[in-house]
Amino acid sequence: MILDDVGHGYDRGFLFRSLKADLQPGSIAVITGSNGTGKTTLLRILAGLLTPREGRVTYCNGKGSLPISSVRPRLGFVTPAISLYPDLTARENVLLACALRGLRGTLDVGSWLDRLGLSGRENDLVGSFSLGMRQRLKYACLFAYSPEVLLLDEPCSHLDEEGRRIVADLVLQYRGEGVVVIATNDPREVQWGELLINLDSCGHPTKGR
């Protein structure tokens, strides 16, 4: 994932400009910054849901750059701005996330729900879930289709200590498989990052940990 002079903002000017980074598989980048500095906006740009006003984001494999439309289904984006379907059960939400990405056949939905501490609630409607349970289910949906890039916006919001530990384990285990980008101001989550992008200081990356 290459960020090349990326800048974005709204009517009142730029939130961040000239952002450069080169993220290779196996790396974790953490975006920090005060409220309103553009952490979620930057994640939306990385997810291909927003076009930056300046610069560009490129996803490459060994052969060259890839169009964002083909990359998007391979990204895993957990953010408070994207919800689950409340009229579907937990199992149906996971199956839907996989089916939309073309995954069919026997998926091990139960084991992911179990790992996220949701066993026994597979057939309950998500509308009856607490915010913490919904956050856990988002991770079950995400890991069930094995994304190549994780984009996590406040990854542990609404989670209890056990939920935090489960998510931390999953994210740190995943690190060997792909790129992880986290937007957070929580000091415990900032510790996960090898590369820090602080949007308060115009987004120039520095080495983390």
Partner 1 sequence: MNYSSIWTAAVILQKDVKTELRSRHGVSILILFGVTATMVISFALGIPDIDEAVAAALLWIILFFLSVAGLGYSFLREEEQMTMDGLLMAASVEGVYLGKVLFNLMLLLVAQGAVLPLFILVFNLQIGPWARFLAAMFFGSCGLSVACTLVAALVSRTGAKGPMLAVLAFPILFPLLIAASADTAAALLGAAGEGLQVLVLYPGVVGAFALMLVKFIWEE
Give the interface with partner 1 as residue ranges (CB under 8 A). Answer: 47-51, 68-69, 72-73, 75, 77, 81-88, 92, 96-97, 99-102, 125
Contact 208, 190 (CB under 8 A): yes
**Nearer to partner 1 (CB atom), residue 30 or residue 78:** 78
Look up residue 180 and give its two tokens: 């992880």
**Nearer to partner 1 (CB atom), residue 89 or residue 185:** 89
**Nearest distance, CB of residue 50 and partner 1, angstroms:** 6
**Nearer to partner 1 (CB atom), residue 100 or residue 131:** 100
**Nearest distance, CB of residue 77 and partner 1, angstroms:** 6
**Distance (Å, whole) CA 29 – CA 122:** 33
All residues at 6 or more sequence positions from 112 whose CB lies less than 8 Å from its CB, including other chains: 94, 140, 143, 144
**Rounded to 5 degrees, what are φ and ψ at 61?**
-110, -165
Look up residue 65 and give its two tokens: 């750059």
**Nearest distance, CB of residue 142 and partner 1, angstroms:** 11
**Nearer to partner 1 (CB atom), residue 16 or residue 145:** 145
